[in-house]
Amino acid sequence: MTNKSSCLVSAIVSVLLVQLLFSTSGSLQPLAFDDSSVYETFLQCLESYLSPHDQISNLVFTSTNSSYTSVLQAYKRNARFNSDLKPLIIVTPTSIPHVQYAVLCTRRIGYRLRIRSGGHDFEGLSYVSDSPFFLIDMSNLRSIEVNIETNSAWVQSGAILGEVYYAIWEKSKVHGFPAGVCPTVAVGGHFSGGGYGNMMRKFGLSVDHIVDAQIVDASGDLLDRKSMGEGLFWAIRGGGGASFGIVISYKIELVEVPETVTVFQVESNPDEGLADFVYRWQFVAPTTSNDLFMRLHFSHPKTTQLEQGSNGTASFQVSIQALYLGKADDVVSLLSKDFPELGLKRQDCTEMSWIESVLWYGSLNYRSSPKVLLDRKVVRSPNDTNSAKRKSDFVVNPVSREGLGDILKRVAGQLQFSMTFSPYGGEMSEIPTSSSPFPHRAGNLYKIEYVGNWNEAGEKAERAVMTQLRRMYSFMAPYVSKNPRRAYLNYRDLDIGKMSHGKGYRSYEEGKVYGMKYFHGNFDRLVKVKTEVDPANFFRDEQSIPTLPMKL
Give how far the C-alpha of residue 498 lies from the chain's centroid of Cα atoms, to the nearest Å. 17
Q: Is 491 annotated as catalytic?
A: yes
Residue 464 belongs to what H/E stretch?
helix 459-475
Is the separation of the CB atoms in 174 and 168 below 8 Å? no
Exactly one of 111, 165, 250, 491 is catalytic; name it. Answer: 491
What three-state secondary structure class fits 532? helix
Angstrom distance (rounded) from CA 201 to CA 422: 10
Residues in the chain, how many? 552
Angle CA(426)–CA(429)–CA(433) in degrees, nearest 5?
A: 150
Smallest CA-to-CA distance from 517 within 445, 440, 462 is with: 440
What three-state secondary structure class fits 65? coil
Smallest CA-to-CA distance from 168 within 190, 191, 151 is with: 151
Residue 428, Cβ density class (10 Å: 0-12 exposed, 13-18 middle, ≥19 buried): buried
510: left (phi over 0), alpha (psi -120 to 50) or beta: alpha
**CA end-to-end distance (rounded Å), the chain:** 23
* φ and ψ of 383, to 5 deg: -95, 5
- Indicate which residues carry an active-site annotation: 491
